Amino acid sequence: MIINMENITKSFGSNEVLKQVTLTIKGGDICALLGENGAGKSTLMNILGGVHQMDSGTISIDGKHVEFNQPKQSQEVGIAFIHQELNLINDLPIYENMFLGRELLTKRGRLDLEKMYGETEKMFQKMKIDLDPNTMVRDLDSSYKQIVEICRAMMTNASIIIMDEPTTSLTDQETERVFDMMRTLRDHNVGIIFISHKLNEVIEVCNRYVVLRDGHLVADGNVCEITIPDLARLMVGHEVRSELLRRNLYLGDELLRVEGLTSYPFFKDINLSIQAGEIVGVTGLLGDGRSELFQSIFGAIRIISGQMFLNEKVVNIKSPTQALEEGIAYLPRNRKENAIIKDMDIFENASIVTWPLFSRRGLINRKKHEETFAEQRNTLKLKMGNLTDNISSLSGGNQQKVVLAKWLAANPKLLILDNPTQGVDVGAKEDIYDIIHQLAEQNIAVVVLSSEAQEIMRVCDRTLVMYHGVIQGELTGEKMNEHNIMTLATGGQLT
């Protein structure tokens, strides 16, 4: 199957998102679709998936002109779209989700649960996935949801599969499993369009790449002929740094110490100490409990036992509100679910944390917020329209900067960043790294939680590696390398 998209143009309001984009996808290709957030990747794929309609241009399949007004029409010709936001029904078991919208019926018109269960089980066996098809989707973590989605697309016998950042929430091991699936599909002459920000994954699994920048298609070629730095440069339009960020360390006094912190089943008996002005990386694989550990330091998860000291004083933080008063800030993972309030504008999203702090008798001090925000807009290199534009009008990177701004406005002493560069483009990533270093120089302790070893190595002074709820090891300086991190993260010991 060959899909030809020619001269596709699309605008949202006055914002022209796609400008005369021409793209060809063949069966047997794994084609990486690259670009910064806001470059138009998702829009282009939404047009191919029938979610959006193009303003002008043509789509043809095997030479025949087609038109997609609804997702269903696109699915019927064999295009499966795995959206970034997962489209699974939480309250149905996996096997019913697999057949959603095309349920198998018995002769008498009832749901053929046994057959659907069996088919799902077969598919899982084929894909070597260790999951009970009877599990409720609600009980799966996001990586397994992703895997179920991919299996569902495969069950429709699609000949082109679009994957919109499928690996963002997956561990390396799971990612590898997904890649294996993709390779198998490629060998069966299925075409895959793979949207990802992780360039090393692109190099690993794709054979073709196309790059979008500001709605233009700027590059199209074979992956074997290009390097990661070149790809990054094509995406951003200028040179990208990749060297490690190092600085002179001036550590202050001990800011935070926890002793024997336990919260079953997330983590147990955690001891750690963080100094002012230090950048501490915490990493591990899925289920390591790092998010939960720092969420409980932030008061969002109850601690069962253990003690916490801030500036040598015992504190007992029970809620995020209290943590905020103590000068602890937490930028959560999964921005869309945990950090962005979509019914509020940019300004309100940027000021929500400091409303109570700056208010007088409950009244919002708009002027003070505006001043604070204007300052941060510069330091954060925030690209945005009006303060009153909706937060969703911003690209992922800029949304993340707004979330960062709201916490910085509160002048935290300890800033916890959970996956700060999730869904953030290359340029904004560098900005965020710079900000982290600036903050550390202002004597703020920064904790960076990340599953990307590369990121941890580039930004942090010291790394804690967690495994199944315990700190497996601590790495500094030369020892902070990918091999050591992986060894500890998988439960091994350093020799």
Partner 1 sequence: MVNSKNQGFIVWFKQKWTNGPLFSTAIALIIMIIVQTLVLGFDYDSFGEWFHSWLNNWINILRNNAGTGIVALGMTFVIMTGGIDLAVGSTLVATGAFSMILLNTGSQGLLGGIGLTGAPAIIVTILLVLLLGYLLGSLIGLSITKGKVPPFIATLGAMMIFRSVTQHFMQGYNTTIPMEFLQVASFKMGNYMLMPIIYWAVIAYILYYVSKRTTFGRQIIAVGSNEKAAKLSGVNVEKVKLRVYMLMGVLVSIASIIQVSRIGSMDFSNAGRGMEMDAIAAAVVGGTSMSGGRGLILGTVYGMLIIAVMNNLLNLFGVPPFLREAFKGLIVIAAVLLQKKEKTS
Query: Measured from the CB of residue 322, what is the shortest distance to partner 1 in angstroms?
Result: 9
Nearer to partner 1, 34 or 340 (CB): 340
Q: Which residues bind partner 1 (CB under 8 A)?
A: 46, 51-52, 298, 300, 319-321, 323-324, 330, 332, 337-344, 348, 352-353, 355-356, 359, 362-364, 406, 410
Q: Which is nearer to partner 1, 220 or 337 (CB)?
A: 337
Closest approach of Cβ 362 to partner 1, in Å? 5
Contacts of 453-459 with CB under 8 Å at 24 or more apart are 453/283, 453/482, 453/485, 453/486, 454/200, 454/482, 455/281, 455/421, 456/281, 456/283, 456/480, 456/485, 457/244, 457/281, 457/481, 457/482, 457/485, 458/244, 458/245, 458/433, 459/245, 459/279, 459/281, 459/433
CB of residue 348 to partner 1, shortest distance in Å: 6
Nearest approach, Cβ of residue 173 and partner 1 (Å) = 28
Residues 57 and 438: their CA atoms lie apart, in Å, by: 46
- Of 105 and 341, the one with the shorter C-beta distance to partner 1 is 341
Query: What gap in Å lies between CA 41 and CA 55, rounded to an integer?
Result: 16
Which one, 28 or 320, has the nearer CB to partner 1? 320
Residues 243-250: contacts with CB under 8 Å, at least 24 apart: 244/457, 244/458, 245/433, 245/437, 245/458, 245/459, 247/437, 247/440, 247/441, 249/277, 249/278, 249/461, 250/277, 250/441
We find the least distance from the C-beta atom of residue 14 to partner 1, in angstroms, to be 11
Please say whether the beta carbons of 95 and 116 come within 8 A: yes
Report the nearest approach of partner 1 to the CB of residue 62 (Å).
Answer: 29
Please identify, using beta-carbon distances, which residue of 448 and 457 lies nearer to partner 1: 448
Name the residue nearer to partner 1 (CB basis): 24 or 142: 142
